[in-house]
Amino acid sequence: MAEAVGTFILVFFGVGSAVFGIDRLGPVGVALSFGLVLLALAYSIGPVSGCHVNPAVTLGVLLNKGITTTEAAYYWVAQLVGAIVAAALIKLMVSGFGGVTDQTGGLGTNDWGKSITAGGTFVLEVVLTFLLVFVVLLVTSRAAAPGFAGLAIGLVLTVIHLVGIPLDGTSVNPARSIGPALFEGGTPLTHLWMFIVAPMIGGALAALVAPLFETAVPKGDKDPTSASVPQ
């Protein structure tokens, strides 16, 4: 339940900030929306579920043996449900019912074309997701500076969006991309595979590299914002 609600909040307020207000907020405002929402979620639902709210993060935690395969499957289902419900409400808001103008022109979907090629998008999403999951795994496993994991995670997601928004809209989260694409259809739905495959590869690579940087932490000394599983 926590993962479904958390992902719903991240997608509705993150993607919603772009759809409802990017003309006024600009890329910086949207980036801050994503980062601040994740920061708040890390401290609020982190002690409950670990606050993955992202299938790529869940994959990284799974490969790092933080959760079981069965638990990961439940997380993925919950994340998809949360993202789809959030996207449905955003779609409702920009329909005749809500009367709000979609300032992105595409329900905040991710895509390539004008500013970046498909190959560039693949590299970008792998690298940006690698950074996110790398930071998540490290700051939730070290004993140093307890209590600051959520801040680090929120800040890195903000920076990631500052880099990615002008290029492909920034995914680094398959659930975030799937929800809007399902309701927008067309090219964003056709290209959706990129924003599933590349982030998952980035998350897997981070899970392989992060243990090389981890310090030994006695059992029970993980950051309290991470609860029983990272992030």
Cβ atoms of 9 and 37 within 8 Å: the answer is yes
DSSP 116: -
Dihedral Cα 37, 42, 45, 48, nearest 10 deg: 160
Here the CATH number for the domain that contains residue 15 is 1.20.1080.10
Q: Which domain holds residue 115?
A: 2-226
**Domain annotation covers residue 191:** yes
Q: What is the pLDDT of residue 215?
A: 62
The reply to whether 231 falls in a domain is: no
Tokens of 192: 């959706």
Establish if 90 belongs to a structural domain. yes
pLDDT digits (tens, 9 = 90+) for 155-195: 999 999 999 999 999 999 999 999 999 999 999 999 999 99
In a domain, 142, yes or no: yes
Give me the number of domains the chain comprises. Answer: 1
Q: 63 with 178: CB under 8 angstroms?
A: no
Does 115 fall in a domain? yes
Q: Are 168 and 116 in contact (CB under 8 A)?
A: yes
Query: Which pLDDT score is estimated for 96?
Result: 86
Residue 189 lies in a domain: yes
Question: Which region holds residue 99: left if phi is over 0, alpha if psi is between -120 and 50, else beta?
Answer: left
Residue 182's nearest CA partner among 72, 108, 113 is 108
Largest Cα–Cα distance of the chain, in whole Å? 56
39 found inside a domain? yes
In a domain, 78, yes or no: yes
The model's pLDDT over 63-108, given as tens digits with 9 standing for 90+, comes to 999 899 999 999 999 999 999 999 999 999 999 888 899 999 999 9
The C-alpha atoms of residue 7 and residue 213 are separated, in whole angstroms, by 28
The reported pTM is 0.90
